[in-house]
Every structure is written in structure tokens, then in C-alpha cells.
Amino acid sequence: MSNNMWTDLTRWEEDNNAVVFLAVDTQELREQMSYWQAFDQNATEDEHYICDIEDVSEKMMIDALKYAYNAVDTSYMGLQDIYDVSYDYLTTTLQARIHDSIKAKRTLWTSDAMTKDKVVATGWDKANYYNSETKQFDELDNFMKPEQQKLF
């Protein structure tokens, strides 16, 4: 938490004769998540890696904290619980966005008078592209990974 937030929180505690046991901001959550498998910059080749946590929008980070706050049993709420549920929310949401984006790119809409609009797979899941930098053919999914960053 920033110093200004701590100052405001301390003042609020003093004014209200209260003690706040848990406060988490998005920056603290980002710092914690940066070491977790889906966001660890040292494990970008890991199959569970999604992206750099700094590429995740502030709105999604706030949504994760709010989701965790509402999902965790307040009788037993601890900081690790908030991290665990936030991580699950972020990874599930990001994976769904990636899946939907890839599915949309792999699907072609055709118009057919008999079947109305019918979804026809284009076969992109088997496609390769020529990478001029490496002078090799690569799978399309590898090409699409940098595009996934635009989804966050």
C-alpha cells in the first residue's frame, strides 16, 4: 500500500476507534501475483504462464479483489485466501478471454439458406505460418500468443 493510503487508514482508525485487520490494494496484489505460475516472468515457457501481471488491466485487478472479498468466508478470511481466490479469478477470466479470442479466429461464418448461419471450422488449429526471423514454420498458436496481450 502507498504511504498516503496508510496515512488515511491510520487516521480513519483513530477517528473511529477501530483497527483494520486486512487491507489489500491492486499494487500489492500485482506484486504477489508476479511470483505465481500464470504470471511469473521467469517461467514464460511454462504451459500455465498467461502473461505479465503488469499487462492485466486495473479494472480486472479490482474485479479480482472484489470477487475474492465476496467469495471468501469472512469468519476465516486471511490475506492468503484473498490471494488464492484472486489468482483463481484472474487465471480463469484470462484463460476464457484467450480461448474465446482463439475460437473466434478459428471460426468462419458462412451463410446458407437451408441451415441459416452455420459455423464452419476453418482448420486453423492445424495451420502453420512462416516466421521470417527464424526461417522456420511455427504453429499458429505460437504466433497468436503475442496477440493475446492485447486482450488484457
Q: Which cell is 81 given?
A: 485466501
pLDDT at 149: 59
pLDDT at 12: 92
The answer to whether the pTM exceeds 0.95 is: no
Q: Which cell is 50 given?
A: 498467461
**Are 40 and 33 a contacting pair, CB within 8 Å?**
no
pLDDT at 91: 92
Tell me how far CA of residue 126 lies from CA of 3, 54, 138, in angstroms.
52, 32, 11
Residues of the chain where predicted confidence (pLDDT) is lower than 70 = 1-3, 104-131, 140-152
Helix (H) or strand (E) holding 14: helix 3-16
State whether the Cα torsion 110-113-116-121 is positive or negative. Answer: negative
For the chain, domain boundaries: 3-151
pLDDT at 119: 47
Q: What is the DSSP letter of 25?
A: -
